[in-house]
Structure 1
Amino acid sequence: MKKNAPTESLDQTDLQLMRHLQDDGRLSNAKLAQRVALSETPCWHRLRKLESEGYIQGYQAMLDRRKLGLGELAFISLNFSPHTAEAFEALEKLVEANDQVLTCHRVTGEADFVMMVVAEDLDSVRDFIDKVLRTLPNVATVRTSLSLREVKFSSKLPLPA
Protein backbone atom coordinates (compact mmCIF):
# COMPACT_ATOMS: atom_id res chain seq x y z
CA MET A 1 0.00 0.00 0.00
CA LYS A 2 1.20 3.52 -0.73
CA LYS A 3 2.02 5.90 2.08
CA ASN A 4 -0.87 8.24 2.88
CA ALA A 5 -3.26 5.89 1.09
CA PRO A 6 -6.97 6.47 1.78
CA THR A 7 -7.11 3.18 3.69
CA GLU A 8 -4.56 4.18 6.33
CA SER A 9 -7.42 5.40 8.56
CA LEU A 10 -8.89 1.88 8.46
CA ASP A 11 -7.83 -0.72 10.97
CA GLN A 12 -7.73 -4.51 10.49
CA THR A 13 -11.27 -4.89 11.85
CA ASP A 14 -12.64 -2.45 9.28
CA LEU A 15 -10.81 -4.31 6.51
CA GLN A 16 -12.11 -7.65 7.80
CA LEU A 17 -15.66 -6.31 7.85
CA MET A 18 -15.36 -5.21 4.23
CA ARG A 19 -13.75 -8.53 3.18
CA HIS A 20 -16.61 -10.51 4.72
CA LEU A 21 -19.24 -8.26 3.15
CA GLN A 22 -17.60 -8.56 -0.27
CA ASP A 23 -17.84 -12.34 0.10
CA ASP A 24 -21.43 -12.28 1.37
CA GLY A 25 -23.37 -9.02 1.48
CA ARG A 26 -26.31 -10.78 3.14
CA LEU A 27 -24.48 -11.49 6.39
CA SER A 28 -26.51 -10.39 9.38
CA ASN A 29 -24.90 -7.98 11.79
CA ALA A 30 -24.78 -10.79 14.38
CA LYS A 31 -22.90 -13.16 12.05
CA LEU A 32 -20.60 -10.39 10.86
CA ALA A 33 -19.81 -9.37 14.45
CA GLN A 34 -19.04 -12.99 15.30
CA ARG A 35 -16.67 -13.36 12.34
CA VAL A 36 -14.64 -10.29 13.29
CA ALA A 37 -14.77 -10.94 17.06
CA LEU A 38 -16.85 -7.88 17.97
CA SER A 39 -20.07 -7.50 19.85
CA GLU A 40 -23.06 -6.50 17.72
CA THR A 41 -23.33 -2.83 18.69
CA PRO A 42 -19.70 -1.87 17.92
CA CYS A 43 -19.95 -3.88 14.67
CA TRP A 44 -23.09 -2.00 13.66
CA HIS A 45 -21.44 1.36 14.49
CA ARG A 46 -18.36 0.48 12.42
CA LEU A 47 -20.54 -0.48 9.45
CA ARG A 48 -22.47 2.79 9.66
CA LYS A 49 -19.17 4.70 9.80
CA LEU A 50 -17.80 2.81 6.76
CA GLU A 51 -21.04 3.60 4.91
CA SER A 52 -21.13 7.28 5.91
CA GLU A 53 -17.47 7.74 4.89
CA GLY A 54 -18.22 6.15 1.51
CA TYR A 55 -16.08 3.02 1.84
CA ILE A 56 -19.25 0.94 1.52
CA GLN A 57 -21.42 2.44 -1.20
CA GLY A 58 -24.28 -0.04 -1.20
CA TYR A 59 -25.36 -3.66 -1.28
CA GLN A 60 -26.64 -5.64 -4.23
CA ALA A 61 -27.17 -9.19 -5.41
CA MET A 62 -25.09 -10.62 -8.25
CA LEU A 63 -27.45 -11.94 -10.90
CA ASP A 64 -26.79 -14.43 -13.69
CA ARG A 65 -27.24 -12.43 -16.90
CA ARG A 66 -27.65 -15.56 -19.03
CA LYS A 67 -30.50 -16.90 -16.91
CA LEU A 68 -32.16 -13.52 -17.36
CA GLY A 69 -31.92 -13.77 -21.15
CA LEU A 70 -28.91 -11.47 -21.57
CA GLY A 71 -26.67 -13.86 -23.48
CA GLU A 72 -24.43 -11.30 -25.18
CA LEU A 73 -21.72 -9.27 -23.49
CA ALA A 74 -20.15 -6.63 -25.72
CA PHE A 75 -17.26 -4.25 -25.20
CA ILE A 76 -17.91 -1.13 -27.23
CA SER A 77 -15.33 1.58 -27.94
CA LEU A 78 -16.42 5.02 -29.10
CA ASN A 79 -14.46 7.82 -30.72
CA PHE A 80 -15.79 11.34 -31.08
CA SER A 81 -14.84 13.95 -33.65
CA PRO A 82 -14.69 16.74 -32.87
CA HIS A 83 -14.26 16.34 -29.14
CA THR A 84 -16.79 18.55 -27.43
CA ALA A 85 -17.99 18.79 -23.88
CA GLU A 86 -21.57 18.61 -25.16
CA ALA A 87 -20.96 15.29 -26.94
CA PHE A 88 -19.29 13.78 -23.88
CA GLU A 89 -22.10 15.01 -21.61
CA ALA A 90 -24.70 13.52 -23.98
CA LEU A 91 -22.94 10.15 -23.79
CA GLU A 92 -22.71 10.30 -20.01
CA LYS A 93 -26.43 11.09 -19.68
CA LEU A 94 -27.33 8.29 -22.08
CA VAL A 95 -25.14 5.80 -20.22
CA GLU A 96 -26.58 6.76 -16.83
CA ALA A 97 -30.12 6.22 -18.12
CA ASN A 98 -29.47 2.89 -19.89
CA ASP A 99 -29.45 -0.32 -17.84
CA GLN A 100 -27.82 -2.28 -20.67
CA VAL A 101 -24.57 -0.41 -20.00
CA LEU A 102 -22.83 -2.07 -17.06
CA THR A 103 -19.69 0.05 -17.09
CA CYS A 104 -18.43 3.00 -19.08
CA HIS A 105 -15.02 4.64 -18.86
CA ARG A 106 -13.35 7.61 -20.48
CA VAL A 107 -9.98 6.15 -21.42
CA THR A 108 -6.60 6.93 -22.91
CA GLY A 109 -5.38 5.28 -26.08
CA GLU A 110 -7.24 4.66 -29.31
CA ALA A 111 -10.78 5.16 -27.96
CA ASP A 112 -12.40 8.03 -26.11
CA PHE A 113 -14.82 5.78 -24.18
CA VAL A 114 -15.09 2.04 -23.57
CA MET A 115 -18.25 0.44 -22.23
CA MET A 116 -19.45 -3.02 -21.30
CA VAL A 117 -22.98 -3.72 -22.53
CA VAL A 118 -25.34 -6.68 -22.08
CA ALA A 119 -27.96 -7.67 -24.62
CA GLU A 120 -30.31 -10.54 -25.42
CA ASP A 121 -28.65 -11.44 -28.73
CA LEU A 122 -26.54 -10.06 -31.59
CA ASP A 123 -29.54 -8.25 -33.09
CA SER A 124 -30.02 -6.45 -29.78
CA VAL A 125 -26.34 -5.44 -29.72
CA ARG A 126 -26.69 -4.06 -33.25
CA ASP A 127 -29.89 -2.20 -32.31
CA PHE A 128 -28.18 -0.66 -29.28
CA ILE A 129 -25.33 0.57 -31.47
CA ASP A 130 -27.52 1.83 -34.34
CA LYS A 131 -30.51 3.20 -32.42
CA VAL A 132 -28.81 4.43 -29.27
CA LEU A 133 -25.09 5.13 -29.70
CA ARG A 134 -25.11 6.37 -33.29
CA THR A 135 -27.76 8.96 -32.39
CA LEU A 136 -25.22 10.77 -30.20
CA PRO A 137 -23.60 13.93 -31.57
CA ASN A 138 -20.07 13.69 -33.01
CA VAL A 139 -19.72 9.88 -32.87
CA ALA A 140 -16.97 9.15 -35.39
CA THR A 141 -16.33 5.44 -34.86
CA VAL A 142 -17.85 2.56 -32.95
CA ARG A 143 -15.87 -0.64 -32.45
CA THR A 144 -17.38 -3.71 -30.86
CA SER A 145 -15.80 -6.82 -29.39
CA LEU A 146 -18.03 -9.67 -28.26
CA SER A 147 -17.19 -11.84 -25.29
CA LEU A 148 -16.60 -15.42 -26.41
CA ARG A 149 -16.13 -16.77 -22.88
CA GLU A 150 -16.26 -15.06 -19.53
CA VAL A 151 -13.11 -16.10 -17.67
CA LYS A 152 -13.67 -13.98 -14.55
CA PHE A 153 -16.35 -11.60 -13.38
CA SER A 154 -16.00 -9.94 -10.01
CA SER A 155 -16.68 -6.68 -8.28
CA LYS A 156 -14.52 -7.57 -5.27
CA LEU A 157 -11.71 -5.12 -4.64
CA PRO A 158 -8.30 -6.20 -3.34
CA LEU A 159 -7.96 -4.95 0.22
CA PRO A 160 -4.65 -4.50 2.03
CA ALA A 161 -3.61 -7.34 4.30
Structure 2
Amino acid sequence: MANLDRADLQIIKELQEDARMTLTELASRVGLSKTPCQLRMRRLEEQGYITGYTALVDHGKLGLNHIAFVQVTLNDTSSKALTAFNKAVRKIGEVEQCHMIAGGYDYLLKVRTNDMVAYRMVLGEKLSTLPHVVQTSTFVVMESVKDIGL
Protein backbone atom coordinates (compact mmCIF):
# COMPACT_ATOMS: atom_id res chain seq x y z
CA MET A 1 0.00 0.00 0.00
CA ALA A 2 3.07 2.23 0.27
CA ASN A 3 2.86 3.13 -3.41
CA LEU A 4 -0.79 4.29 -3.21
CA ASP A 5 -1.53 7.96 -2.81
CA ARG A 6 -4.69 9.83 -1.85
CA ALA A 7 -6.09 9.72 -5.39
CA ASP A 8 -5.55 5.96 -5.69
CA LEU A 9 -7.30 5.35 -2.37
CA GLN A 10 -10.14 7.67 -3.39
CA ILE A 11 -10.56 5.80 -6.70
CA ILE A 12 -10.87 2.53 -4.80
CA LYS A 13 -13.35 4.03 -2.34
CA GLU A 14 -15.51 5.56 -5.07
CA LEU A 15 -15.57 2.35 -7.11
CA GLN A 16 -16.62 0.40 -4.03
CA GLU A 17 -19.56 2.77 -3.69
CA ASP A 18 -20.54 2.66 -7.38
CA ALA A 19 -18.48 0.67 -9.86
CA ARG A 20 -20.84 1.61 -12.69
CA MET A 21 -20.21 5.34 -12.60
CA THR A 22 -18.74 6.81 -15.74
CA LEU A 23 -15.05 7.49 -15.97
CA THR A 24 -15.89 11.19 -16.23
CA GLU A 25 -17.83 11.06 -12.94
CA LEU A 26 -15.07 9.09 -11.22
CA ALA A 27 -12.40 11.51 -12.40
CA SER A 28 -14.48 14.45 -11.17
CA ARG A 29 -14.99 12.87 -7.74
CA VAL A 30 -11.26 12.23 -7.24
CA GLY A 31 -10.11 15.53 -8.74
CA LEU A 32 -8.33 14.19 -11.83
CA SER A 33 -8.88 14.45 -15.55
CA LYS A 34 -10.15 11.36 -17.38
CA THR A 35 -6.86 10.05 -18.80
CA PRO A 36 -4.84 10.06 -15.56
CA CYS A 37 -7.84 8.59 -13.74
CA GLN A 38 -8.16 5.79 -16.31
CA LEU A 39 -4.42 5.07 -16.12
CA ARG A 40 -4.59 4.86 -12.34
CA MET A 41 -7.60 2.55 -12.51
CA ARG A 42 -5.81 0.27 -14.96
CA ARG A 43 -2.69 0.22 -12.72
CA LEU A 44 -4.79 -0.57 -9.64
CA GLU A 45 -6.35 -3.48 -11.55
CA GLU A 46 -3.03 -4.75 -12.90
CA GLN A 47 -1.40 -4.60 -9.47
CA GLY A 48 -4.30 -6.50 -7.92
CA TYR A 49 -5.70 -3.74 -5.70
CA ILE A 50 -8.93 -3.93 -7.70
CA THR A 51 -9.66 -7.60 -8.31
CA GLY A 52 -12.99 -7.33 -10.12
CA TYR A 53 -16.40 -5.75 -10.34
CA THR A 54 -19.69 -7.26 -9.24
CA ALA A 55 -23.36 -6.47 -8.88
CA LEU A 56 -25.00 -6.18 -5.47
CA VAL A 57 -28.33 -7.95 -5.51
CA ASP A 58 -31.45 -7.92 -3.35
CA HIS A 59 -31.37 -11.46 -2.01
CA GLY A 60 -34.88 -11.09 -0.62
CA LYS A 61 -36.29 -10.59 -4.11
CA LEU A 62 -34.47 -13.75 -5.14
CA GLY A 63 -36.05 -15.67 -2.26
CA LEU A 64 -32.74 -16.07 -0.43
CA ASN A 65 -33.60 -14.52 2.92
CA HIS A 66 -32.17 -17.19 5.21
CA ILE A 67 -28.60 -16.56 6.39
CA ALA A 68 -26.71 -18.83 8.74
CA PHE A 69 -23.20 -18.54 10.07
CA VAL A 70 -21.64 -21.94 10.61
CA GLN A 71 -18.65 -22.71 12.79
CA VAL A 72 -16.80 -25.72 11.43
CA THR A 73 -14.31 -27.84 13.34
CA LEU A 74 -12.05 -30.26 11.50
CA ASN A 75 -10.51 -33.47 12.83
CA ASP A 76 -7.24 -32.73 11.02
CA THR A 77 -5.60 -29.38 10.33
CA SER A 78 -2.62 -30.58 8.36
CA SER A 79 -1.88 -28.72 5.17
CA LYS A 80 -3.29 -31.59 3.10
CA ALA A 81 -6.55 -31.64 5.10
CA LEU A 82 -7.00 -27.86 4.91
CA THR A 83 -6.41 -27.93 1.15
CA ALA A 84 -9.00 -30.69 0.72
CA PHE A 85 -11.57 -28.79 2.81
CA ASN A 86 -10.89 -25.51 0.98
CA LYS A 87 -11.26 -27.12 -2.44
CA ALA A 88 -14.51 -28.85 -1.52
CA VAL A 89 -16.18 -25.89 0.23
CA ARG A 90 -15.60 -23.67 -2.83
CA LYS A 91 -17.92 -25.97 -4.80
CA ILE A 92 -20.93 -25.37 -2.54
CA GLY A 93 -22.99 -22.59 -4.08
CA GLU A 94 -24.87 -21.77 -0.90
CA VAL A 95 -21.62 -20.88 0.89
CA GLU A 96 -21.13 -17.15 0.28
CA GLN A 97 -18.05 -16.79 2.46
CA CYS A 98 -15.56 -19.12 4.08
CA HIS A 99 -12.90 -17.92 6.51
CA MET A 100 -10.22 -19.88 8.33
CA ILE A 101 -10.37 -18.75 11.96
CA ALA A 102 -7.87 -18.78 14.80
CA GLY A 103 -9.69 -19.83 17.94
CA GLY A 104 -12.02 -22.51 19.19
CA TYR A 105 -13.01 -23.75 15.74
CA ASP A 106 -11.35 -23.87 12.33
CA TYR A 107 -13.68 -22.15 9.82
CA LEU A 108 -16.56 -19.71 9.78
CA LEU A 109 -18.96 -19.99 6.85
CA LYS A 110 -21.73 -17.66 5.71
CA VAL A 111 -24.46 -19.76 4.14
CA ARG A 112 -27.46 -18.32 2.28
CA THR A 113 -30.58 -20.32 1.43
CA ASN A 114 -34.27 -19.62 0.93
CA ASP A 115 -35.42 -21.07 4.27
CA MET A 116 -34.57 -23.31 7.22
CA VAL A 117 -35.62 -26.47 5.38
CA ALA A 118 -33.21 -25.71 2.55
CA TYR A 119 -30.47 -24.83 5.04
CA ARG A 120 -31.00 -28.13 6.87
CA MET A 121 -30.50 -29.99 3.57
CA VAL A 122 -27.31 -28.03 2.82
CA LEU A 123 -26.02 -28.76 6.31
CA GLY A 124 -26.82 -32.47 6.21
CA GLU A 125 -25.97 -33.25 2.60
CA LYS A 126 -23.13 -30.85 1.85
CA LEU A 127 -21.46 -29.16 4.82
CA SER A 128 -21.36 -32.17 7.13
CA THR A 129 -19.86 -34.30 4.37
CA LEU A 130 -16.97 -31.95 3.60
CA PRO A 131 -13.53 -33.49 4.12
CA HIS A 132 -12.41 -33.71 7.76
CA VAL A 133 -15.52 -32.05 9.25
CA VAL A 134 -16.06 -33.35 12.76
CA GLN A 135 -18.45 -30.73 14.16
CA THR A 136 -20.58 -27.76 13.10
CA SER A 137 -22.47 -25.11 15.06
CA THR A 138 -25.08 -22.95 13.36
CA PHE A 139 -26.08 -19.38 14.18
CA VAL A 140 -29.15 -18.13 12.29
CA VAL A 141 -29.37 -14.45 11.39
CA MET A 142 -32.55 -12.78 12.60
CA GLU A 143 -31.88 -9.40 10.96
CA SER A 144 -29.07 -7.92 8.87
CA VAL A 145 -28.32 -4.55 10.43
CA LYS A 146 -25.31 -3.71 8.26
CA ASP A 147 -24.29 -5.56 5.16
CA ILE A 148 -22.52 -4.59 1.95
CA GLY A 149 -24.95 -2.79 -0.27
CA LEU A 150 -27.45 -1.97 2.47
User: Same fold judged by TM-score > 0.5?
Assistant: yes
Runs of 4 or more above 3 Å deviation: 82-87
Equivalent position of 1:151 in the other structure:
145
Secondary structure of the corresponding residue to residue 141 of structure 1: strand
Equivalent position of 2:112 in the other structure:
118
Which of residues 36, 50, 57 in structure 2 aligns to 1:56? Answer: 50
Q: Do 2:81 and 2:132's aligned partners in 1 also have CA atoms closer than 8 Å?
A: yes
Q: Does 1:67 align with 2:61?
A: yes
Q: Do 1:103 and 1:116's aligned partners in 2 also have CA atoms closer than 8 Å?
A: yes
Q: Does 1:139 align with 2:133?
A: yes
* Deviation of the 1:134 alpha carbon: 1.7
Q: 1:121 to 1:48 in 2, by over 3 A?
A: same
* Deviation of the 1:99 alpha carbon: 2.2
Matched residues, number: 149
Q: Please give the alpha-carbon distance, in whole angstroms, between the structure 1 residues aligned to 2:99 and 2:86.
A: 10
Gapped runs of 5+ residues in structure 1? 1-6, 156-161
Residues 96-111 of structure 1: pairs in structure 2 closer than 5 A: 96-111=90-105
Q: Do 2:68 and 2:140's aligned partners in 1 also have CA atoms closer than 8 Å?
A: yes
Q: Please give the alpha-carbon distance, in whole angstroms, between the structure 2 residues aligned to 1:88 and 1:124.
A: 26
Percent identity of equivalent pairs: 37
Q: Do 1:87 and 1:136's aligned partners in 2 also have CA atoms closer than 8 Å?
A: no
Give the letter for the 1:105 counterpart.
H
Give the TM-score taking structure 2 as reference length: 0.92
Give the letter for the 1:103 counterpart.
Q
